[in-house]
Amino acid sequence: MANPNIRSTLAAQRRFFQSGATRDLRFRIKMLESLSTSIRRMELKINDALYRDFHKPPFETYVTEIGLVVKEIRNVVRRLPRWSRPERVPTPVVHFPARSFIYREPYGTVLIVSPWNYPLLLSLSPLIGAIAAGNTVMLKIAPAAAHTARLLADLVGSVFPKEYVAVFQGHRDVNRALLKERYDYLFFTGGEKVGRYVMQAAARHLTPLTLELGGKCPVMVHRDADLRHAARRIAWGKFMNGGQTCVAPDYLLAHQDIAARVLEHLSAAIRSFYGERPQTSNDYCRIVSDHHFLRLKRLLASGKIHSGGQNDRKERFIAPTLLTDVSFDDPVMQEEIFGPILPVITYRDVDQVIGWVRSRPEPLAFYLFTQDNAVKNRLWRELAFGGGCLNDTVMQLANPHLAFGGVGRSGLGRYHGRAGYETFTYAKSLFDKSTRIDLPFRYPPYTHRALSLVKKFLR
């Protein structure tokens, strides 16, 4: 049965969009700036909510949530006037005199379904693109990070009227009710299983969509890599937010000649970051729920624990863990880990790595540590993945000028910066023909001379 609140809100948003208010450039910029102001004003409350949900330290909250969102708004506001201008494109001489333009137009009313792992960033980043483009938005927030979800609903509600941006909370029943309705665009961030359901729902109404999914993101450390830097950057990208990051390194491929040293450097980096007892560290996060804690604890049985493995269900704590003697058939290699467990697998040569990665679903990210340009160029050319880094991890997300998204089973579509603006708009093409000249050869009755002229111009 349809949810009457969803139906009435959707109808109000369609009316508001049809009023033309969201198309006004100054209005869009003003609303984005108001959102930025509210985020900065509520920084302490955001810190508190994320600490309650994840034990997340203020530094991580700022660099992975607040700072990225504020930076994204600043980038969009600065460039939106240029992005919004009609783009003039070439017109073939056969059409003289005429001009051709491409206009970017908002879709209308958009549904954004966001995940729990970075609740502020992954709700507001697509929202920024949708607002910048001139849409109205139905925003569904994941309930797992409960404190942040409530705060986010208050934050968005304080900036936007419901006929412009409406927030919905709840579990699967709310998701199902929302997805029964027709939208002009659909944006989903989450797992592959739910992504399939969202795509089926979109197909019923032929609704265009973006899917930001996950996948097992490999990190490869070649034998010529700077191992100390590699270990610190891998440990940081893997274990921040308790490993609950869609682009975190999911498993490590270490060249057999340096694998033992990689493990030593990784263990040292973990101790340097979180001390001998990570459970007492103020800088180490917790798992979001009992369900995910138990799922991760089962994965600890794969392979052999090289370091870490300690866990405490009461605190939903799992220590940063390195696994060795892991095979691709083990449970930990059959699903996206989404937690602080890093399997380490050794390889002989680049051909073996290419074979392994190609035989599995395309990853959302791929990370490579090497100084060898030939190795880099070959892997960049021969492997399919959404994005990645050379000699670093996760930092591709920190550049608002890099489009973010997956490929194949890791996702469909791109956003961030201009890519986000273009995701939530469609290209409307316009051909502007002058009436000063009207060449007669285009009209019947057609002649051999007219055909010759057309062939000359269109050759």
Query: What are the DSSP calls for 330-354, one per residue?
Result: SGGGSS---SSEEEEEEESSHHHHH
Contact 178, 201 (CB under 8 A): no
Separation CA 346–CA 257 (nearest Å): 9
Beta bridge partners of 341: 321
Q: Please state the rounded mean pLDDT for residues 343-370.
A: 97
In Å, what is the CA distance from 261 to each residue of 212, 255, 281, 343? 35, 10, 26, 15
Asked whether residue 2 carries a pLDDT value surpassing 60, the answer given is no
Is residue 458 very low, low, confident or very high in pLDDT (cuts 50, 70, 90)?
Answer: confident
Q: Please state the rounded mean pLDDT for residues 281-298.
A: 97
Indicate the residue type of 410.
Answer: S
Domains of the chain and CATH, by start: 4-213+410-427 (3.40.605.10), 218-403 (3.40.309.10)
* Residue 130: predicted pLDDT: 98
Maximum Cα–Cα distance for the chain, whole Å?
89
Instruction: Give the mean pLDDT of the chain.
Output: 96
Q: What is the Cα Rg of the chain in Å?
A: 25
Asked whether residue 110 carries a pLDDT value surpassing 60, the answer given is yes
* Residue 1: predicted pLDDT: 41
Asked whether residue 453 carries a pLDDT value surpassing 90, the answer given is no
Indicate the residue type of 199.
Answer: M
* Residue 442: predicted pLDDT: 83
DSSP secondary structure string, 354-381?
Answer: HHHHHTSPPPSEEEEE-S-HHHHHHHHH
Separation CA 55–CA 286 (nearest Å): 6
* Residue 83: predicted pLDDT: 97
Q: Please state the rounded mean pLDDT for residues 149-168.
A: 97
* Residue 437: predicted pLDDT: 87
List, for residues 8-25, the tens digit of each pLDDT value. Answer: 999 999 999 999 999 999
Contact 148, 49 (CB under 8 A): yes
Indicate the residue type of 52.
Answer: R
**Among 2-6, 129-133, 276-280, 359-363, where is mean pLDDT lowest?**
2-6
Is residue 452 very low, low, confident or very high in pLDDT (cuts 50, 70, 90)?
Answer: confident
131 secondary structure, DSSP code: H
* Residue 260: predicted pLDDT: 97
* Residue 66: predicted pLDDT: 98
Q: Please state the rounded mean pLDDT for residues 148-173.
A: 97
Please give the positions annotated as active site. Answer: 212, 246
Contact 94, 437 (CB under 8 A): no
* Residue 457: predicted pLDDT: 75
Asked whether residue 248 carries a pLDDT value surpassing 60, the answer given is yes
Contact 322, 266 (CB under 8 A): yes
